Amino acid sequence: MESRRIAVCPGSFDPVTLGHLDIIRRASNLFDKVIVLISTNVSKTKTSFDLPERLMLMEKVIVGMDNVVIDILDGLLAEYVRNAKATVIVKGLRAVSDFEYEFQMALANKKLYPAAETIFLTTTSENMFLSSSVVKNIAYFGGDISPFVPECVCEDIKQRIHRTEEIS
Ligand code: PNS
């Protein structure tokens, strides 16, 4: 039996924000190993980042976090958790508006794989209303996204959204 405590941190990360980074960092302090699981995009919009882009951004962001690895989720989360021998799904919880959606997913995952627990880390107050959509919206209109995304990927995100605007 696996004695190390393995957690997965699933999400779209489209793109990664300071809110995500905060949750990943705190999860890495709680568990022996954290797998950041980047989910394939079900609904793609003009400003969505594709999988290789989201992977590249996340690789930069987790530099120095020795117990954090990245993987791609292309299927059911519960199945991934089972196969990875993880026992915990970590999600960030922001405002009350997140609750119903997250509760539903946690219950579905519990039914699909009862051995795993979903735990929620409450966001910091600064990140309470931060989301990838907000970042994309600000970047699209040329606003300053530096308060919202990790510094090491700020320029990448700006360039990418700018490029989208040019070809749209
Ligand atoms: O960043 P998000 O949108 O909160 O991430 C959602 C994610 C990727 C965690 C969720 O869509 C997911 O688990 N997708 C995998 C498919 C799955 O397992 N669905 C059943 C649970 S509802």
Q: Is 108 in the pocket of ligand 1 (CB under 6 A)?
A: yes
The span from the CA of 67 to the CA of 4, in Å, is 11
Give catalytic residue positions. 20, 44, 94, 132
Q: Is 76 in the pocket of ligand 1 (CB under 6 A)?
A: yes
pLDDT of residue 164: 65
| C-alpha neighbours within 13 Å on the C-beta side of residue 133 | 4
Does residue 16 contact residue 130 with C-beta atoms inside 8 Å? no
Q: Domain 6-129 is of which CATH architecture? A: 3-Layer(aba) Sandwich (3.40)
**Percentage, residues of the chain above pLDDT 70:** 92
pTM of the model: 0.93
Measured in angstroms, how far is the CA atom of residue 43 from the centroid of ligand 1? 12
Give tens-digit pLDDT for 18-68: 999 999 999 999 999 999 999 986 766 767 899 999 999 999 999 999 999
The span from the CA of 21 to the CA of 1, in Å, is 30
Measured in angstroms, how far is the CA atom of residue 5 from the centroid of ligand 1? 21
Measured in angstroms, how far is the CA atom of residue 18 from the centroid of ligand 1? 20
Written as six digits, the tokens of 99 are 């609750």
pLDDT of residue 44: 66
Q: Compute the average pLDDT of residues 82-109.
A: 94
The Cα-based distances of 5 to 1, 35, 42, 89 in angstroms read: 11, 11, 30, 11
Question: Amino acid identity, residue 10?
Answer: P
Q: Compute the average pLDDT of residues 140-163.
A: 93
pLDDT of residue 167: 47
More confident residue, 81 or 2: 81
**Percentage, residues of the chain above pLDDT 90:** 83
Strand partners, 37: 10, 71
Place of tokens 């799904």: 89
The Cα-based distances of 124 to 51, 58, 133, 166 in angstroms read: 27, 20, 18, 35
Contacts with 71 (C-beta within 8 Å, 6 or more apart), sequence order:
35, 36, 37, 38, 80, 84
Residue 1 has pLDDT above 60, yes or no: no
